Amino acid sequence: MSYLGALTPRHFEVLHAIVHNYIETGEPVASRTIARKYPMSPASIRNLMADLLEHGYLQQPHTSAGRVPTESAYQSYANTLTGSRVVQAELDRLHVEIGRATSVEGRIERASKLLTEITRNLGIAAAIPTEQQTLDQVELLGLPDRRILMVVITRDRMVRNKVITVDDDISSQELTSIRNYINYNFSGWVLGNIHRELKRRLDLESAAYDAILRRVKVLYAKGLLELGLTPEIHFDGAENLIGLDLHLTRERMRELFRALEGKKRILQLLERFLESREGGLAIQVGLSDVHPSMSELSMIGVRFGLPNGTEAHLAVLGPMRMNYSRAVSAVLHVGEAFKSTIM
């Protein structure tokens, strides 16, 4: 086998034409088919295809058949689409669609549905809270039996509730004082910084003589401002995978759906392939590393941080023979529209 550098731009032009044709038809591609689109003889194209076969970009199902793209071919083709232009009119339309939801959770759900509608594949959207979220305010409400309802509201309008039980009675007046102390001192602070500063203050010797700080310490030890950073994940369109020519046995298809039905598995999928691509488009062809039943699937996605401290992941999961151009465009457009509704 000759080394990879022997392939020329002309090789990849022919390769991408083969991939495009195979996506459209699902049939092995012959040299004469490509020759109709390029000013080269079928013999010249056959030579280029032979080089591509040798380098692992093509395979030949039968001796007399045309060529079929491999994972490497799809990956090469998909990577040429990462510079797709974002069309303002489409961006405006999606902004309106996503903006109709009034919460981050609602916008995540709408984004996943839009990705599914546009691509006819499986659309995935997730909001993953981080310690960079900003506190808006806390509310404390006394309940019977020495229980306290702690409500934490962050600037992204996410509300988290937690009920705790304390050893000693805390009056409603004391709860008001604690709430006012937290809101006055820390509203607008990033949660991670609040934890560090509160720990510093509570460790000071003077804290033992401050009545409010003594009560704050009790609630802090019980989980005040511990939000339980649970990701919000939505995915739609798994049924679109039914009927695709994935060459899966019935048992493998069942395995695929079992693998996709859990949010934990979807989150692992997103984190594995998007963790190193902040703001950039990631394309992964073949997902057998995640699960054997996903060997013929591809994922196109993007990850970006939001000003509210949440990290957003948007992706499309579909067959290798998906319409990559449409999927890339959908992820870029929906991603930009989602960001614009949060800014």
Predicted confidence pLDDT, tens digits, the chain (343 residues) = 344 457 898 999 999 999 999 888 888 898 888 988 888 888 899 899 999 999 999 988 776 678 899 988 988 888 887 655 667 888 888 989 998 988 778 889 999 999 999 999 989 998 887 767 788 999 999 999 989 999 988 877 777 788 888 888 889 999 999 999 999 999 999 888 988 898 898 888 787 778 888 888 888 888 888 766 677 888 888 777 776 566 666 776 777 777 777 777 788 888 878 775 666 788 888 888 877 878 888 889 988 887 666 788 999 998 888 888 889 889 988 988 888 887 6
Q: Which CATH architecture has domain 135-221?
A: 2-Layer Sandwich (3.30)
How far is residue 31's CA from residue 219's CA, in Å, rounded to a whole number?
Answer: 73
Beta carbons within 8 Å of 172's beta carbon, 6+ residues apart = 142
- What residue type is 192 in one-letter code? G
- Phi, psi (rounded to 5 degrees) for 136: -95, -60
Q: Same topology for domains 4-79 and 88-130+230-342, yes or no?
A: no
Which listed CATH number (1.10.10.10, 3.40.50.2300, 3.40.50.300, 2.160.10.10) goes with 4-79?
1.10.10.10
pLDDT in tens, 267-295: 888 887 877 566 678 888 888 887 787 88
Residue ranges covered by each domain of the chain: 4-79, 88-130+230-342, 135-221
309: nearest Cα among 188, 213, 214 = 188
* Pairing of the two strands 310-319 and 122-129: antiparallel
Could you give the 3-state DSSP secondary structure of residue 211?
helix
Could you give the 3-state DSSP secondary structure of residue 204?
coil
Q: Are 13 and 74 in contact (CB under 8 A)?
A: no
Taking domain 88-130+230-342, whether its CATH number is 3.90.1200.10 is answered by no
Beta carbons within 8 Å of 40's beta carbon, 6+ residues apart = none
